[in-house]
Amino acid sequence: MSENRTHSVLSSRQRKAVEALLSTGEAAAAAREAGIARDTLYRWLKEPAFLTAVRQAEAAALDELSRLLVRLGRTAAATLAKAMSDPTVPWSTRVRAADASLGRLLQLRELATLEARVTELERLSGLAEEAGR
């Protein structure tokens, strides 16, 4: 079901509750912000259409955050490079910047390796073909 279709089957109060869940991150606070009872929100969270709308909204928010972090990545890498190479920066800061850089590089390598392995397993099991349908 598309995001628009899922969103359109919700009442205006439910749409407000979805937005409140994203902005507050907590059910009781979201219920207050949406002007509904907490029990109502918990009941809605058991309804497939509402739950789908919440998950779609969370996915969209994570996509937006990911794009922002990608943009900030270059600045962060340049900041670490400057801290590591600037002779006026204390050694402890330079070592910390180097350690952070190496740690993230190793994490990135592990993720890339894991992604390649999962992709190969999906290919071998036929799951990749099913997802393409």
pTM beyond 0.75: the answer is no
Q: Which two tokens stand for residue 85?
A: 């190479």
Confidence label for 52 from pLDDT (cuts 50, 70 and 90): very high
127's tokens: 């799951």
Higher pLDDT, 110 or 128: 110
3-state secondary structure of 83: helix
pLDDT digits (tens, 9 = 90+) for 59-76: 999 999 999 988 988 898
